Chains A and B, each alone.
Chain A
Amino acid sequence: IRINDFLRGESGGSTVQERLQRRNQARLEDAERRKEAKQSRSVAEERTEYFFSTFNSERASIEEVLSGCSGADRAAVTQKLEEATVKTAELQKFLNDNMFVLNQYQLKTSQAALQKLQASIAETREEALPKKKFAFRARTKAADKAPVQVTATPPPADSGSDRADGPPASEQCGFSNVNNELLTKTAEEIQNRDVLLTHLTNCKVRLFGSPSTLHLKHIDGCEILCGPVATSVFVDRCRNSVLAFPCQQLRTHNTTDTRVYLHVTSRAIIEDCSGVSFAPFSWSYSGIEEDFTVSGLDRDRNNWSQVDDFNWLAAGLPSPNWTVIPEEDRKNTWDP
């Protein structure tokens, strides 16, 4: 009876043959599913593998370029350093684009490897091209003295809200509380950093290099020129000033009577502003090409004249708060 039951199957009616066939079918389907799962897993693994093989070989080639600097003449070193800088910027982009095939640990170590590369580029530059740096240093040193003078001036009216800043001095990059000075920073000082300028009056500021981001607050009667900024520039409470920089975004708040010579690859906005005017970025300095590459900004895309006013959302009507600087009034030459 038992055998009979078995042969007939619990569901009744199905033969051993049918049952075996079904089981075989199920096995095949299962194998197919496993194969698919394995394939999709190996696609993910392959992408990670591809990432690391590319990343590591690129890294090795940059290290090789850098090691070729020792003993080379000045021109060769300059050219090699530029090559290394460009390649490192490309490698950073490659990492950013591939973060989704990496886990947190892999991302961290790759990021650390990139930072090491950037550090050794800076180090090589310092060793191989000391003269150029020295020249910059001298200028910067003179400028660095400025804040000392100013400690005697009373704190600005709203320093209460600024007090929470208390940043560790070493991390803070920029200038604060200076009047009537020429202030400069070199590429080495600001590369990939966040730069902050606050409470500057009647100053000329020259930032050579590519910071990651730039903040300006409480600026009066200044002329501020900066190299390509990788992400956004944030301007707050600025008046009677001239600004020039390339950036990815510009956000301008509470600003009056200020001219902006702008290269912006996405968009500029103003909010609570009046008398702000815009023209295309026209400042230049030696090394700006390299800094553009470091910043990752597209040189061919400049939306300087497409300004959104967040206080003027009336469609079709131009905002009364900003204008384009007429061509004949634009500044084309800049003091050093």
Chain B
Amino acid sequence: MGLLTILKKMKQKEREMRLLMLGLDNAGKTTILKKFNGEDVSTISPTLGFNIKTLEHRGFKLNIWDVGGQKSLRSYWRNYFESTDGLVWVVDSADRLRLDDCRRELGALLLEERLAGATLLVFANKQDLPGALSKEAIREALALDDIKSHHWCVIGCSAVTGENLLAGVDWLLDDIAARIFTAD
């Protein structure tokens, strides 16, 4: 396939990407989504079910699915796996008491066949809190270095101040775009 064909293909279909945002409840998923979209984050309620947002960024059309993280909802996560290009795993970096739970859920997720091709971005969120663990500590606590099955990257951010949200999403898009390119 020639370069032009690939570019043209990128334009039409692959310029649309499907991102799935998961993590324990209270991690800040909905806040990240709304902040990224420039919406008011002070009125966000705990997510019952899911939110979908379609936004344009750097010429890409992003369909972002934000799915509730409550225990009773986690078994529904798999309903959203199909054709996921990027997985955004959001962590409350100040919630030390649930890090084990967080590592287990992420580990189980990465075994899912339908997520096999997806790029993983870990957002170590709530870095504005004085008690937040650094992104290095999160990397260790979640044993990210053991992940060989997916491209991954961990980025410290704050959904409240907006710090590093763009940097994270940009990395994710670059990785996915590069993958689509080389696949043909």
Contact = CB atoms under 8 A, between A and B. Distances in A.
Contacts of B35: 99
Give the size range of A's interface with the partner. 35 or more
A335 B137 CA distance: 41
Interface stretch (A53-61, A70-78, A211-219, A319-327): A211-219
Interface in B119-162: 126, 128-132, 141, 160-162
**Interface of B (DSSP majority class):** loop
Interface in A149-180: 161-162, 164-167, 171-173
A308 B46 contact: yes
A313 B70 CA distance: 13
**Interface of A (DSSP majority class):** mixed
A251 B72 CA distance: 13
Nearest to A253: B71
Contacts of A234: 26, 95
Nearest to B166: A104
Contacts of B42: 248, 265-266, 296, 298
B141 A164 contact: yes
B38 interface: yes
B97 A193 contact: no
A99 B166 CA distance: 11
Contact of A231 (B25, B99, B160, B164): B160
Given A111-B161, A213-B94, A249 B72 contact: no
A164 B130 contact: no
B96 A213 contact: no
A203 interface: no
Contact of B94 (A166, A194, A198): A194
Contacts of A104: 163-164, 166-167
Interface of B: 25-26, 35, 38, 41-46, 48, 70-73, 94-97, 99-100, 126, 128-132, 141, 160-164, 166-167
22 contacts: A96-B161, A99-B162, A104-B163, A104-B166, A108-B163, A111-B161, A164-B141, A165-B96, A171-B131, A194-B94, A194-B129, A194-B130, A194-B132, A213-B126, A234-B26, A234-B95, A249-B46, A266-B42, A271-B70, A296-B42, A308-B45, A308-B48
Interface of A: 95-96, 99-100, 104, 107-108, 111, 161-162, 164-167, 171-173, 192-194, 196, 198, 212-213, 215, 217, 231-232, 234, 236, 248-249, 251, 253, 265-267, 269, 271-272, 296, 298, 308, 310-311, 313
